[in-house]
Structure 1
Amino acid sequence: MSNKPTHNKFHSEIIELLRAARKKVVQAVNHTMVITYFEIGKMIVVEQQNGQARAEYGKELLKNLSATISKEFGKGFSETNLKQMRQFYLLYSKGQTLSDDSTKPQTMSIDFKLSWSHYLTLMRIEDENERAFYEIESTKNNWSVRELQRQCDSALYSRLTLSRNKDKVKELSEQGLILQEPKDAIKDPYILEFIGLPEKSAYSENQLEEEIINKLEHFLLELGNGFTFVARQKRISFDDKHFRIDLVFYNRILRSFVLIDLKIGELKHQDLGQMQMYVNYYDREIRLEDENKTIGIVLCQNKSESVVEYTLPEDNKQIFASKYKTVLPSKGELKSIITRK
């Protein structure tokens, strides 16, 4: 009996070692596949450029190449797949000199860190800056393909560009999302389609909170980089009065507590005043001396920008009001929401 814990620990260590090895193998296979597809794309481009009557020659080239490779290696090399490899090379070889020597590798200056499925998703994004942003964020946050697609569908890039000047927007495509001050972490609107509540359903604030907690991993993804969950219905008390903050998070990058209050319907000035009280309490009673000031976010279904502007001080850097949507809007609706701001 005394040897059992050690024995179980020994088994667990072996299992973890095998899991780590398997992960490395999968990563190596994915990396090799991406490089190989890049090289195939390059070879197709070179051959097409050398061919006569390019349009016809290119079409026949892909058709014949697909038949030959598929016969040798099976599925995965249809004409459509070969076109994607060609597009992949054209998109990611910018700045490199095209050589007729297809045996000379041109991938050394390109650091491919994602899977082929990730790049297939990225290649559907026409805007070069937007595509670069999602590639950086996918790598930095280890997004799965599903998470990447969800962020694209919810127009994360467009939502983040709303309150940024041209230099800051350019920074998104070069470095991804960099959190330097509270407003960098704020989105408007927040897209909460994962909680499963209909957009016009008569649900309560408690129900909204409960669904967010049930899907906390998804909510953290929507919040963004550096967020960790601290508490729900956090009670604070003074002068024999008791208040409860819906959700409390901490952002490790900003080194700040982040308080979130959920409101059904139209935002009222009292909601912002209440959040100001919560933030003041945390700043004076909870946060440590080496931590930055507390951030407060009121999530509401609708808001008046004038109410926000005239309720909060002109130099406000701590309190924010953002709308939320419980159903993923269409691209047209998202564009309308964003351009109305």
Structure 2
Amino acid sequence: MELKNQNLFNRVIELLVQARQKVSQTINNTMAITYFEIGRMIVEEEQQGKEKAEYGKQILNELSEKLVVEFGKGFSETNLKQMRSFYLTYSIRQTVSDEFAKDYTVPVQFKLTWSHYLKLMRIPDLNERNFYEIEAIKNNWSLRELQRQFDSALYTRLVLSKNKEEVISLGQKGQIIEKNKDLIKDPYVLEFLGLPQKSFYSESDLEQKLIDKLEHFLLELGNGFTFVARQKRITFEEKHFKVDLVFYNRILKCFVLIDLKIGELKHQDIGQMQMYVNYFDREVKLEDENKTIGIILCQDKSESLVRYTLPENNDQIFASKYLTVLPSEKDFIKIIEN
């Protein structure tokens, strides 16, 4: 039976979905707070023991046995140790950022699920851990997406182009986009496309895969991106050109053009992107919008070629490598060092 008032139906559905999300968030917050408090109680009780190591082991064993009987296997000795670690990890750290935390009614350390915190606690570097926590909250990352961003070394890729003060800021505020270069990563990791590293594929194949996995690609691009067009046609003097992908960044208020290149970057590729950027600046962007950014994604590039092809004060054209498989930790270190 078709509803006469479809608008009413849509509004009720939206309200119910929002209610479910709020209930889920409340449960997650309450669980994290509860486990934090259990961890605190365990630590405080352990500190009263004369032989801390033996006394602590005895406490966990006895407490686990009683809680499992009362509440189930979620309170094994291993899980209680994790709760203790949770308290020790988050009770002694510095506040992530007063400016960031004030936007939330719940303390910032309790905005994610327990599973998120189990992952975060395994990151030893405080700044890196804080960064992933802030970004997971800001971007509503699922646990799977948090794991994916960590595996693709997002923090490390962003750190490469920053000075000491900017690196510290990443751990206090997350990724802050204030200038064009803040948008750029090198390399971009596109393992979600399912393309083997050494198989043959065309630029159109790569483009189609990115469109098919657009949601994943937007997450890899970063904050504030919206999709505008693919194969955007540019025409002047009866000559036609096509920009592979066009995005808009709401934070910097500018168009972002992406050109895909198979193989090594050539100086002609940079010149072509310069033409696209100039056209958008002069013919497409509005007066209150900022200058267009062009990103060339390529399999390989010469830093010298890029440096000498572009002007010294360049802040619009960027060339970055892309990877179609997730490297091992050892290979990632080599890529980053090179």
TM range (shorter): over 0.9
2:162 to 152, 161, 164: 164
In structure 1, the gaps of 5 or more residues are 97-107
Return the letter of the residue paired with 2:23.
Answer: V
Letter paired with 2:213: K
Distance 1:145 1:95 in 2: 22
* C-alpha distance in 1 between matches for 2:282 and 2:16: 49
- Cα deviation code 1:37-79 (max 9, x no counterpart): 0000011111111112111221222122111101100021111
Whole-angstrom distance in 2 between the partners of 1:196 and 1:109? 38
How many residue pairs get aligned? The number is 327
In structure 1, the residue corresponding to 2:75 is in which secondary structure? coil
What code does the residue aligned with 1:318 have?
Answer: Q
Q: CA RMSD in A?
A: 1.5
Select 2:81's aligned residue among 69, 79, 83: 83
The answer for the alignment partner of 2:255 in structure 1 is 257
State the SS of the aligned residue for 1:76.
helix
1:186 aligns with 2:169: no
The aligned amino acid for 2:63 is: L
- In structure 2, the partner of 1:5 is 4
User: How far apart, in 1, do the equivalents of 2:54 and 2:18 lie?
Assistant: 48
Aligned to 2:299: 301
Counterpart Cα distance in 1 of 2:319 and 2:142: 30
Indicate how the Cα distance of structure 1 residues 192 and 63 shifts in structure 2: closer, same or farther if over 3 A, else same: same
Q: Kindly state the Cα deviation for residue 320 of structure 1 after the two structures are TM-superposed.
A: 0.2
Q: TM-score if structure 2 supplies the norm length?
A: 0.94
Q: Which residue of 2 aligns with 1:246?
A: 244
| 1:239–1:95 CA distance, 2 compared to 1 (3 A) | closer
CA shift, 1:109, in A, is: 6.2
Match of 1:23 in 2: 21
Residue segments in structure 2 that go unaligned for 5+ positions in a row: 95-105
Letter in 2 for 1:258: V
Secondary structure at the aligned position of 1:15 is classed as helix
Question: Cα–Cα, structure 1 residues 116 and 95, in superposed 2: closer, same or farther, change >3 Å?
Answer: closer
Matched, 1:175 2:163: no
Q: 2:63 aligns to what SS in structure 1? A: helix
User: How much does 1:12 deviate?
Assistant: 3.1
Q: Does 1:207 align with 2:174?
A: no
Aligned to 1:33: 31
Partners of 2:109 and 2:19 lie apart in 1 by 22
> Which residue in 1 is equivalent to 2:55?
57
Q: Distance in 2 between matches of 1:177 and 1:269?
A: 31
CA deviations 1:11-32 (Å, max 9, x no partner) are 3333322222221111111111
Instruction: Indicate which of 257, 263, 266 corresponds to 2:264.
Output: 266
Aligned counterparts of 2:19 and 2:194: Cα–Cα separation in 1: 37
Matches of 1:254 and 1:153, distance apart in 2: 27
Is contact 2:90-2:109 (8 Å) kept? no
Q: Which moved more, 1:277-286 or 1:108-117?
A: 108-117
Distance 1:178 1:109, change over 3 A: closer
Per the alignment, residue 288 of structure 1 pairs with: 286
| Separation of aligned partners in 2, 1:294 and 1:200 | 33
Deviates more, 1:117-126 or 1:254-263: 117-126
CA distance in 1, matches of 2:3, 2:134: 46
Answering whether residue 319 of structure 2 is matched by residue 321 of structure 1, we say: yes
Secondary structure (helix, strand or coil) at the match of 1:301 reads strand
1:5 corresponds to which letter in structure 2? K
Three-state SS of the structure 1 residue aligned to 2:87 is helix
The whole-number CA distance in structure 2 between the counterparts of 1:238 and 1:205 is: 24
Distance (Å, rounded) in 1 between the aligned partners of 2:16 and 2:10? 10
The farther-off stretch of 112-121 and 321-330 is: 112-121
Q: Which residue of 2 aligns with 1:231?
A: 229
Q: What is the rounded CA distance, in whole Å, between the counterparts of 1:136 and 1:314 in structure 2?
A: 34
Q: Which residue is 1:104 aligned to?
A: none
